[in-house]
Amino acid sequence: MSACFEMVKIILIFGFVGILTSTIYLSLVFAATIRFRHRPKTMPLFTPPVSVLKPLHGAEPGLREFLEGFFQLDYPEYEILFCARHEADPGLAIAGDLSRKYPRVPVRIMTSGEPPWPNARCFSLNEMKSAARHDILVITDSDVRVKPGYLRAVMEPFRQEKTGLVTCVYRGVAAQGGFWARLEGMGMSVEMTSGVLVAEMLEGMRFALGPSMAVRKSCVDQIGGFEKLGDYYADDFMLGRLVAESGSIVVLSDHVIDHCIVNTRFDKSLGHQWNWMKSTRFSRPMGHLGTGLTFGLPFGLLAFATATMIGKPWLGLALLAWTVAARVFQSVLVGWYVVKDRDAVRLAWLYPLRDLMGGLLWMASYASRRVGWRDDLFELRKSGVVRLIPAEERPTSTHQ
């Protein structure tokens, strides 16, 4: 019995240590948030011509609205290039309709055919880069929504010749509504943004965020082109890393965009988040390992259970209450002060649940190395390199 009691005490201490590390992390988030919000601001007056690259695959819910925003940008000279694998792709049909509605915006609609690299998005980007007329490429996902001032904001840092890439944090927006989509959106707005701001504060920007990446064409050439990224799952992370390693500066813009979540079902939302967790495990293994110490609620629940078991329920309740309050504060802090996400503020009381999910997904990320993207299934290998899994080897679900 005494051995069991001692084991419970050890687990309680482990829970307390986890609460301590997650609290230290929250203090770093607070410092990084204040630092980010108080950076010197400049008027967005630098407006070089820009080529916007939009890889497409199908017509997800809301695609017309998301794409239309790029035809309404307040910017003097830009073109939009759309690329899908096949001419019959319904996303290209929507892009064609919009190009006829907004004839003043130069548009090129392209097809890539079947990709020779595992990462089909990179092959589409490579095809569009070859056709792009301008020296700065703006790459955004199909589920991104922007405001008219987007290009002016992300172009301003390119006034400095050393700037090679500019990326943006984003709000997670449940475009179609739904509880699980909102919870996933809070993870994007709060958990993701917190990690990005702390990483930028501690080591500078050495990665990029896929929903929005503006990069000099010369920097892409310098790192070996998009072909260099064709074997990676997290091509955005690697693009930023390689641009930084080449000697150019990667800038985190203070402009915030909308990353719209179209997964409303629990299984789809969970699968998407699990894929992301597994990807970071291979892209930055040591950083991902440390991420496990940033989740507060799993440790709070562990401390509550073990403290109750040794006859100290009030201690356990106090520790759990602290972790809940800290996560609510984090949601309000980052959601309001950085990304202006109303859901992250209005539903801040739900963020502890998202934090618990994040901790469980982090643990589950070590249980599999298979990830899905669109219609493809991959096996992750060292440094985030992937092997495309042939159809005959695939299970019925791609979220493995």
At 400, the pLDDT band (50, 70, 90 cuts) reads very low
Q: How far apart are CA 37 and CA 16, in angstroms?
A: 32
Given a cut of 70, whether residue 266 has pLDDT beyond it is: yes
Query: Per-domain residue ranges for the chain?
Result: 2-37+292-367, 50-285
Compute the average pLDDT of residues 357-365. 95
**End-to-end Cα separation, the chain, in angstroms:** 41
**Least trusted range by pLDDT, from 137-146, 168-177, 208-217, 372-381:** 372-381
Count of CB atoms situated within 10 Å of the CB of 113: 10
Is residue 268's pLDDT more than 90? no
- Is pLDDT above 90 for 390? no
- pLDDT at residue number 275: 92
How far, CA to CA in Å, does 201 sit from each of 28, 34, 194, 216, 251? 9, 11, 11, 24, 12
Residue 70 pLDDT more than 80? yes
Query: Is CATH 3.90.550.10 correct for 50-285?
Result: yes
**Distance, CA of 255 to CA of 338 (rounded, Å):** 10
Higher confidence at residue 49 or residue 310? 49
Token pair of 148 as six digits: 């008219």
Question: What is the pLDDT confidence band of residue 264, given thresholds at 50, 70 and 90?
Answer: confident
pLDDT at 8: 85
Give residue 1's pLDDT: 59
pLDDT for 91 equals 96
Mean pLDDT over the full length of the chain: 93
Q: What's residue 392's pLDDT?
A: 66
Q: Give how far Cα 133 sits from Cα of 77, 136, 204, 258, Å.
A: 11, 9, 31, 27
Asked whether 257 and 146 are in contact (CB, 8 A), the reply is yes
pLDDT > 50? residue 351: yes
Name the pLDDT band for 398 (thresholds 50, 70, 90): very low
Confidence check: pLDDT of 293 > 80: yes
Indicate if the pLDDT at residue 73 is higher than 60. Answer: yes
* pLDDT of 135 higher than 80: yes
- Exposure class string for 168-205: b at 16+ Cβ within 10 A, else e: bbbbbbbbeebebbbbbbbbbbbbbbbbbbbbbbeeeb
Length of the chain: 400
- pLDDT higher than threshold 90 for residue 189: yes
286-295 average pLDDT score = 94
pLDDT at 394: 66
For 222, other C-beta atoms within 10 Å of its C-beta total 16
Q: What percent of the chain has pLDDT over 90?
A: 81
Asked if pLDDT for residue 287 goes beyond 80, the answer is yes
Amino acid 396: pLDDT? 58
